[in-house]
Amino acid sequence: MDRLRKMFALVADDNGATTSAARIQQHILGSGIQLDDFRLRTTMERLRFLGESPISFEAFVALVSDELMMVNRTFNRELVIPDWQEFCHDIELVFNRIADDCSGNNANYIPILRDADPNKWGVALCSVDGQRLEIGDVDTYHSIQSVSKPITYAFAIEQEGTDFVHQFVGVEPSGRPFNSLELLPDSRPFNPCVNAGAIMTAGVVASSRTEQSAREITEEIMKLWAALSGDLAPVRFSEETMLSERDTADNNFAIAYLLKGGRGLPRGVDLHKMLDLYLSCCSIEMTASLLSVAAATLANGGVCPITGQQALSTEAVKKSLSVMQAAGMYDNAGVFTLEVGLPAKSGVSGAVLTVVPNLMGFATFSPRLDSYGNSVRGVEFCRQLVELFTFHIYDSLSGGRSGCKRDPRASQHNRKQRDLSDLRWAVSHGDRYALKVRDLLLECMIAITLADGEIEEPEIIIMAETYTEIMGHQPQQGELQAMAESRQSEIEAGGSSGPFEQLLQRLSLEQVQLDDNVRELILEAAFRVACADGIIEPEEDHQLRGIANALGISEGVLELEIARFQRQHPSRGAAATD
């Protein structure tokens, strides 16, 4: 069928002859692309014009012809995260889990932060293809505080050149609290992400703009923020924050004088102007939604995914991300890099901006802070996300053994398909590894079938179906029944360790040789049999957990799988697992 016909079929009404604006919009939204996306502007304008009238195939072709490449990618889910809906569900799960955490306290040095609603909790995500997800309080404006620092740094290196900037600011992690007065042995601040470094960076920027006031320079930096966040909504300035910051800036003044008395300030810039610029950058107000798009722009090398505009040079982005990686989470940056392994920047307002290079950016907002000044929920969200997904920069080192963490990237999806077809082909030719996989797969399915001690006809049928679907050919006649009966008689015979325990032992031994794809296949087969009757019985749940554990698959990943099952069978409500 012609590609256009296929696209039309994806949105056609039951009669197949027409579609509607609502159906088209719904289908686009399902991909994660928003209806105001610049790449679909013409199509959307034409759709609005058509209103509710039915759209024939010919009208559809005319509608999408100008933006065919983008419509095609969106319709066929050929975006960086193809299965966007599933990904969103997983993220919601993490979001909800963290919502209960009320530990930590608001920053209390200025009233506007002290009085902010501590219960606010929002997560916004944007992929490098411009797919967006927003949950909770993503439209609450808050000062960006230290989240401003890596962007002011990027602005400085673009305007003044890297060499000049680094004559005044270092790039070493400080291991000290963000407001520490300590400097490098050569009297430069450690890096642009601690106050001393950010104040000096502001000094570098202010020093070449003698004609402009600190506020005017801030407005230029705000324009950069607006470009980074795709002009989605206004980037604002909080006068109230600025006034309070000035009133409470003794420590920042101390740092500024120390810098002035040490190596001196760049081009003899006025100390007050330098501090004013620093404090007003902290007083810029944005939302998690805006910050997530800015994070995605960084993930995309400086090109904003939702406008296509190059907001920052890729070189400046690379440097900014490196500094974030080393020092973005202050004196917790080392632990954060170890556990999360992503460049991120937090601010005392409760914002955290995180970048998954080449994939997406996300921003969280929750005002309660830990002892480092990082948002408790924000950090926890990053941690849990990386436990479930292969987003840690070094997850790519896993040699295909990450404990079956999810990877929503399109490239991974294709790799899985390729591996599966290799496996099918290899089984049919007697490959040793492939046969072992097949064997383990069968044993696990049978174990689940026997969880209730009975072999039922429908279970054998489901097992055969699952096997056929995964292995690409039918099992031999009577093979499953015979295997199941033999395991059943072993169970009845009793003995020190039953067949299930033996299977777990075998899985634990063999799993070192199994890559993620294969482990996933085995778990999937067991899972499908457990779900065969639409409900996961407690005994089946127990066995599934045993199999996952023996395969080295984390509890969290299994939870995602179970949640997915429950979504697919809403009528069953919660399965019998709880």
In the complex, minimum distance from the CB of residue 175 to ligand GLN, in angstroms, rounded to a whole number? 16
Pick from 74, 69, 67, 94: nearest CA to 30: 74
Is residue 466 near ligand GLN by the rule CB under 6 A? no
Which residue, 247 or 479, is less far from ligand GLN as judged by CB?
Answer: 247
Q: What residues from 337 to 396 belong to the interface with ligand GLN (CB under 6 A)?
A: 347-348, 373
In the complex, minimum distance from the CB of residue 361 to ligand GLN, in angstroms, rounded to a whole number? 19
Is residue 202 near ligand GLN by the rule CB under 6 A? no
Per CB under 6 A, the list member of 127, 140, 195, 375 interacting with ligand GLN is 195
Which residue, 206 or 282, is less far from ligand GLN as judged by CB?
Answer: 282
Residues 384, 98: contact at Cβ < 8 Å?
A: yes
Is residue 145 near ligand GLN by the rule CB under 6 A? yes
**Edge-first strand listing for the sheet containing 142-143:** 142-143, 284-286, 236-237
In the complex, minimum distance from the CB of residue 348 to ligand GLN, in angstroms, rounded to a whole number? 4
The greatest distance separating any two alpha carbons of the chain, rounded to the nearest whole angstrom, comes to 91
Residues 408, 389: contact at Cβ < 8 Å?
A: yes
Residues 248, 110: contact at Cβ < 8 Å?
A: yes
How many whole angstroms separate alpha carbon 155 and alpha carbon 82? 34
Q: What residues from 230 to 259 belong to the interface with ligand GLN (CB under 6 A)?
A: 245, 252
Q: What residues from 270 to 289 belong to the interface with ligand GLN (CB under 6 A)?
A: 282
Which residue, 238 or 307, is less far from ligand GLN as judged by CB?
Answer: 238
Name the 3-class secondary structure at 96: helix
In the complex, minimum distance from the CB of residue 134 to ligand GLN, in angstroms, rounded to a whole number? 23
Which residue, 302 or 373, is less far from ligand GLN as judged by CB?
Answer: 373
Which residue, 180 or 325, is less far from ligand GLN as judged by CB?
Answer: 180
Query: What is the C-alpha R_g of the chain?
Result: 28
Amino acid at the residue 249: A
Amino acid at the residue 451: A
Which residue, 348 or 451, is less far from ligand GLN as judged by CB?
Answer: 348
In the complex, minimum distance from the CB of residue 113 to ligand GLN, in angstroms, rounded to a whole number? 9
Given the DSSP bridges, would you call strands 284-286 and 351-356 parallel, antiparallel or unpaired?
unpaired
How many whole angstroms separate alpha carbon 345 and alpha carbon 330? 9
**Strand extents, DSSP E, 62-121:** none
Is residue 179 near ligand GLN by the rule CB under 6 A? yes
How many whole angstroms separate alpha carbon 112 and alpha carbon 255? 23
**How many amino acids of this chain bind ligand GLN (CB under 6 A)?**
11
How many whole angstroms separate alpha carbon 186 and alpha carbon 338? 28
Is residue 190 near ligand GLN by the rule CB under 6 A? no
Which residue, 179 or 310, is less far from ligand GLN as judged by CB?
Answer: 179
Binding site for ligand GLN (CB under 6 A): 145-146, 178-179, 195, 245, 252, 282, 347-348, 373
